[in-house]
Amino acid sequence: MNTREYIEIEEKYGAHNYHPLDVVIEKAQGVWVWDVDGKKYLDCLAAYSAVNQGHCHPRIIKAMKDQADNVTLTSRAFRNNQLPLLCKELCEMTGFEMVLPMNSGAEAVETALKAARKWGYKVKGVQEGQAEIIACTNNFGGRTISIVTFSTEAQYKDGFGPFTPGFKIVEYGNADSFEKAITPNTVAFIVEPIQGEGGVIVPPDGYLKKVSELCKKNNVLLITDEIQSGLGRSGKLFAFQYEGIMPDMVTIGKALSGGCYPVSAVLSSKAVLGVFKPGDHGSTFGGNPLGCAVARESLKVLIEEKLVEKSFEFGEYFRAELRKINTTHVKEIRGRGLFIGVELKPEAGGARKYCEGLMKLGVLCKETHEHVIRFAPPLVITKEEIDWAVEQVRKVLEN
Ligand SMILES: *Cc1c(COP(=O)(O)O)cnc(C)c1O
C-alpha cells in the first residue's frame, strides 16, 4: 500500500483528533525515518522529545526484547525485580528521594496534583475541599479533564466541561502575578520550566528562582513539569537546573523510555509522596517490569552517550546556524539546548506551510501554535546532520 491508501484508511476508521503531516512512517533509526514509499526524512520533532535517545536505539531495543522474554506485567499486586532498581537509579541520578511510576505524561501530572492536594490536607492543614493549585497561562500538561481545566487554550476545553474546581491561572514568566494569587489554601504551583507546546517559551532569567523562593516562603509545593523539557532536551538534565533550584516535585515522561514504551513518573521527597497509603492511587501498568527495564536502559544511554552535554553544545550551534539564514519571515529564534522555537512573523502566513515545505525536502518538524516551528531532533544528531537540516530550512525561509 502507498501513502495515499494508508491515509484514506486512517481518515475513514480513526478518530480525527490530530492533524498530522501526510507522511506515513514505517521504519526509523537514530535521527532518520523512512516512509512507506521509501523516502527518507530527518526527524526534527523526535515525537515531542520522547525519542531523545534516537529512534530504535539498539541498547534500549535489546533491553526491551530481553525483558519481554522474562516478564512484562505483574501489576502492583505483586512486586517485580525491575521497579526497585528504576526507582533507586532515578533517585541517585536526580537527587530526589522517592519515585511514583505511571505510564503517560498526563497520568504523571494527575499524580502530582493528587499528591499536592493530599499533602495540603494531611500535612499543610488546609481545610478539606479547599485546596488550590496555581497554574500558568499557555501551559500544557496533558488532556485529562482536570488538566484541561487549567488550560488557557480554548480548543482544549471546548465541549469538555464541567471542569474540576480548585485551579487558578497566573501569567507565565511573571512572579508578581504568582505571588498575588497565593492564599493560605494554596497547596501547589505547577509550571513548565520551558513551555514546549506553548511555543518553546523560555521564561525571563530569575523567574524560576523567584517562584521557588515564594513557594518556600508560603509553604506551597513547587511542581515543575519536565515531561518535555527534561531528560536532556534543554541542555541540562532538567531545565530547572538553569536557575539552581530544587522543586518539590518533578514530572517526567516522554524520553524516560526513549520512545519505546509509555513510561512516566513523579519524583519527589518522602514528605510529599509519603502521603500516599496503599490503595490511595495506582495504575495497572504503572511500574510494570517491561516499562521499568526500558526506562533503566534509556537513562543509561542518556548518561553514557553524554546526550545532555551534546544537547547543550549542538543546541547553541543549531540556533547560531539558523540565525545566519537571510530571511525577513523570522521574528525570533529561541530555546535552550536542542529545544528550539523559530517564531515567524504573522505576515509569513503561518508555520504549517513551511513545515510542509520542509517535509518535501526531507525534514520533519511540526508547527506549534500558528506561528512557531519547533526544532527538537533526537539528541544523537551530528553536526553534519544539523548543517544539512539548516540548509533545508534556508531553502524554505530565504526570500
Ligand atoms: C507531552 C506533555 C505532557 C503530557 O504527556 P502525555 O504522555 O502526552 O500524556 C505533559 N506535560 C508536558 C510539559 C508535555 O510536554
> pLDDT tens digits for 212-244?
999 999 999 999 999 999 999 999 999 999 999
Atom of ligand 1 nearest to the CA of 142: 4
Where exactly are the structural domains of the chain? 3-56+306-398, 58-304
What cell does 61 get?
A: 531495543
Q: What is the pLDDT of residue 205?
A: 98
**Considering only CA atoms, which of 51, 226, 265 is closest in space to residue 141?**
226
Atom of ligand 1 nearest to the CA of 107: 9
Proportion of the chain above pLDDT 90, given as a percent: 99
CATH number of 58-304: 3.40.640.10
Does 119 sit in the ligand 1 pocket, CB within 6 Å?
no
Does 253 sit in the ligand 1 pocket, CB within 6 Å?
yes
Does 109 sit in the ligand 1 pocket, CB within 6 Å?
yes
Does 82 sit in the ligand 1 pocket, CB within 6 Å?
no
Q: Cα of 325 to ligand 1 centre, how many Å?
A: 32
Q: Cα of 125 to ligand 1 centre, how many Å?
A: 30
Residue 184 contacts residue 149 (beta carbons within 8 Å): no
Q: Pick left, alpha or beta for residue 326 (phi over 0 → left; psi -120 to 50 → alpha; otherwise beta).
A: beta
**Has residue 154 got a pLDDT over 80?**
yes
Of all protein residues, the one whose alpha carbon is nearest to atom 15 of ligand 1 is 228
Catalytic residues, which ones?
Answer: 140, 225, 254
pLDDT band at 369 (very low <50, low <70, confident <90, very high): confident
Proportion of the chain above pLDDT 70, given as a percent: 100
Q: Which of 228, 234, 260 to mutate to test the pocket of ligand 1 (most atoms within 8 A of CB)?
A: 228
**In Å, what is the CA distance from 365 to each residue of 129, 264, 342?**
43, 24, 11
In the predicted model, what is the mean pLDDT of the chain?
97
Non-local CB neighbours of 270 within 8 Å, separated by 6+ positions? 97, 98
Does 49 sit in the ligand 1 pocket, CB within 6 Å?
no
Beta strand 339-344 with 372-375 is antiparallel
* Homologous superfamily (CATH) for 3-56+306-398: Aspartate Aminotransferase, domain 1 (3.90.1150.10)
What confidence tens digit (pLDDT) does each residue in 264-302 have? 999 999 999 999 999 999 999 999 999 999 999 999 999
Q: Which of 45, 49, 109, 192 to mutate to test the pocket of ligand 1 (most atoms within 8 A of CB)?
A: 109
Angle at alpha carbon of residue 273, lines to 271 and 276, rounded to 5°: 115
Does 235 sit in the ligand 1 pocket, CB within 6 Å?
no
Average pLDDT score over residue span 20-45: 97
**Has residue 399 got a pLDDT over 80?**
no
DSSP conformational letter for 204: P
Q: pTM of the prediction?
A: 0.98
Alpha carbons within 13 angstroms on the beta-carbon side of residue 181 total 24
Q: Cα of 324 to ligand 1 centre, how many Å?
A: 32
Of all protein residues, the one whose alpha carbon is nearest to atom 10 of ligand 1 is 141
